[in-house]
Amino acid sequence: MNLQKRKCPIEIRVLPRGAGWTDVEWFVSSEMDEPLVFTASYLSNLFGDFILALYYLHPNQFETTRGDSIVEHKLALCDSRTDEIVKLYDVGEPHPIGSYREIPYRAKFHWEEEPGGSTWVLTRNPTEDTSFIVKLNLTVERYSVEDDDYKNTEYSFEFEYHDLCYAVAKAMTDVMKNYGFYGYHYSTSDNGINVHQLVFIKAVALSCTSLIEPKHRTMGKATTDFENEIKLLLFDM
């Protein structure tokens, strides 16, 4: 296993404050002089939702039974002979009888800051490409004492999917090495960290998904290499 660090245009730091509160610093080197800082509460899943969104936006991982809490999909009508996508339909839109696949295209989640919060919307083209651009629209709602009202600030970014995976996986690796999985949960009350999803987006970030490919498939079962998965989790980015 030859894993290599690389530069990433996005920097994220996760800083647990205790009692269910967490600071998150978000910095994009090409567009900011200083990071955006979010102080999110236990009322939201925080980074668990970010990991889930990135995992289920990948077309090879999308399952509506698990991803549809925050990820939206389109129905892709497929050619019965070639299996190629012929046309896309919105969910609920009338469509002819045929063979369909579900294609993820948008994820949305919210971080509570009490008061205020931030809403994150990640959008991709609804294709089966595994390398793609993610458009991120971020709405930050903050209370203005001066105006005695809430004000929204909008931000828009475009990233390569694997870069966003890198930033999130690095942030989680750093905080887990300092706190541990249980310590992180205890400090933040974040119930949403899914280990196999984290392993996957870290493999995407490091361009080594072949290391976690299921093998010995039979009767709906498969095995993966546990040692490779642990090495991925422990690798400093």
For the chain, what is the mean pLDDT?
A: 91
Predicted local distance difference test score (pLDDT) of residue 120: 97
| pLDDT tier at 122, thresholds 50, 70, 90 | very high
- Rg (the chain; Cα; Å): 19
Q: What is the pLDDT of residues 137-196, one digit of tens each?
A: 999 998 877 777 889 999 999 999 999 999 999 999 999 999 999 999 999 988 768 999
Q: What is the pLDDT of residues 20-76, one digit of tens each?
A: 899 999 999 889 999 999 988 988 888 889 999 999 999 988 665 555 678 999 999
Q: What is the pLDDT of residues 60-109, one digit of tens each?
A: 886 655 556 789 999 999 988 898 999 999 988 999 999 998 899 999 99
What distance in Å separates the CA atoms of residue 184 and residue 177, rounded to the nearest whole number? Answer: 10
Predicted local distance difference test score (pLDDT) of residue 14: 96
Predicted local distance difference test score (pLDDT) of residue 229: 96
Comparing 10 with 82, which gets the higher pLDDT? 10
CA distances from 192 to 43, 164, 183 (A): 12, 18, 14
Predicted local distance difference test score (pLDDT) of residue 216: 81
Predicted local distance difference test score (pLDDT) of residue 67: 58
Predicted local distance difference test score (pLDDT) of residue 45: 80
Residues in the chain: 237
Indicate the domain borders of the chain. Answer: 10-234
Would you call the peptide bond into 115 cis, given omega within 30 degrees of 0 as the criterion? yes
Predicted local distance difference test score (pLDDT) of residue 68: 63
Give φ, ψ of 72 to 5 degrees: -100, 155
* pTM for this predicted structure: 0.92
SS (H, E, C) the chain: CCCCCCCCCEEEEEEEEECCEEEEEEEECCCCCCCEEEEECCCCCCHHHHHHHHHHHCCCCCCHHHHCCCEEEEEEEECCCCCCEEEEEECCCCCCCCEEEEEEEEEEEEEECCCCEEEEEEECCCCCCCCCEEEEEEEEEEEECCCCEEEEEEEEEEEEHHHHHHHHHHHHHHHHHHHCHHHHHHHHCCCCCCHHHHHHHHHHHCCCHHHHCCEEEECCEEECCHHHHHHHHHCCC
* Cβ atoms 141, 117 nearer than 8 A: yes
What distance in Å separates the CA atoms of residue 220 and residue 95, rounded to the nearest whole number? Answer: 31
**Given the DSSP bridges, would you call strands 221-223 and 10-18 parallel, antiparallel or unpaired?**
unpaired
